[in-house]
């Protein structure tokens, strides 16, 4: 195992400290327990947004703390859910008096620990709502979830709900936007090579040089099937067919197309995937309304990509275009 780390037990803490120094104008980092919050927060009178999960998916979630997205994020150990207490403290740090929305990926540990934290802060007078993201079409159930996994679509939920909170929507309104996005977004990914969890010291799974894990999860969980390596266009078609047929998306829809890298995929390859995905939208009469390309929900250095498609309407498009200022997404400011 070759990694730029000092000690396995220090990876999350030292990474957070570097993140805080690099983006001190946007975020602040707290330890004991670990969480990230807005440097200018909490914003009084605004609904607070909190998300989190295991580390190793950077920039998810800490990279999306800032104006127009999250007010706080809770990084657990690598690929391991954070415990309730840092979620409690992050929720307090995000509370500006208008309530807090928890955006939780559908992994069993995340769901249970966020539920426990919500109960604890409710006892202190903070109103919390929760939206569980489950955009992954690869499986109905996995080793890690009851139901579908929450993956790259979570970024879109955070962005659009964050914009709704910034425009002044109340807690019920922000929650409704998050639920609407989650209901209209679908994702699926594939892996060419696994990442290596530092404390494991070896790749999470083995793939032959001519094999692809199709429908892989962001922790390396198995997907629909293991297939032989195909061209980028053929693999993109497989992903798009699975995603578009699931909602289903229809001719005349306007969508946001998000091609996400898993951590070890060059941007040039992501654009090759995006190119074919956009062509498939054209062929189906679906309008490419908005786009996003980049490694935003990663799995350490996994080599692979995922495709996420969100059905847009005028309101969701306006919320996407609204200003955002985070370490990982920034426009309009």
Among all residues, which ones are annotated catalytic?
57, 219
Beta bridge partners of 48: 100
The span from the CA of 27 to the CA of 35, in Å, is 10
Tokens at residue 285, please?
Answer: 């009469």
Print the SS3 string covering 47-64. CEEEEEEEECCCCCCHHH
The length of the chain in residues reads: 333
Q: Is the peptide bond before 154 cis (omega within 30 degrees of 0)?
A: no
| Ramachandran region, residue 11 (left: φ > 0; alpha: ψ -120 to 50; beta: rest) | alpha
Tracing tokens 């999960």 back to the chain, one arrives at 53
The DSSP line for 121-143 is: HHTTT--EEEEEE--B-S-S--S
Of 50, 48, 34, 17, the C-alpha closest to 86 is 34
Of 332, 302, 331, the C-alpha closest to 58 is 302
């Amino acid at each position: 195992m070759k990694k730029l780390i000092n000690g396995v037990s220090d990876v999350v803490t030292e990474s957070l400290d570097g993140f805080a120094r690099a983006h001190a104008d946007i975020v602040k980092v707290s330890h004991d327990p670990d969480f990230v919050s807005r440097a200018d927060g909490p914003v009084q009178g605004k609904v607070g947004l909190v998300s989190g999960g295991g580390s190793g998916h950077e920039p998810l979630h800490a990279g999306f703390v800032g104006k127009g997205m999250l007010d706080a994020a809770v990084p657990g150990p690598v690929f391991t859910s954070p415990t309730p207490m840092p979620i409690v403290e992050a929720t307090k740090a995000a509370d500006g008096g208008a309530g807090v929305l928890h955006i939780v990926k559908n992994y069993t540990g995340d769901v249970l620990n966020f539920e426990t934290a919500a109960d604890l802060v409710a006892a202190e007078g903070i109103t919390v709502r929760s939206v569980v993201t489950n955009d992954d079409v690869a499986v109905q159930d996995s080793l890690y979830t009851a139901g579908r996994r929450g993956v790259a679509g979570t970024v879109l939920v955070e962005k659009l709900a964050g914009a709704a909170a910034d425009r002044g929507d109340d807690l019920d309104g922000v929650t409704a936007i998050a639920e609407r996005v989650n209901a209209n977004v679908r994702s699926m990914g594939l892996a060419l090579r696994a990442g290596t969890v530092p404390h494991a010291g070896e790749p999470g799974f083995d793939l032959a040089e001519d094999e692809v894990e199709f429908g892989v999860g962001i922790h390396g969980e198995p997907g629909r099937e293991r297939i032989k390596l195909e061209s980028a266009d053929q693999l993109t078609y497989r992903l798009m067919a699975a995603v578009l047929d699931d909602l289903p998306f229809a001719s005349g829809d306007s969508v946001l197309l998000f091609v996400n890298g898993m951590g070890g995929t060059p941007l040039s390859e992501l654009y090759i995937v995006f190119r074919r995905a956009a062509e498939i939208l054209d062929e189906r009469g679906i309008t490419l309304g908005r786009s996003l390309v980049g490694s935003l929900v990663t799995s350490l250095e996994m080599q692979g990509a995922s495709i996420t498609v969100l059905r847009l309407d005028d309101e969701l498009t306006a919320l996407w275009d609204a200003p955002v200022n985070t370490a990982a997404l920034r426009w309009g400011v």
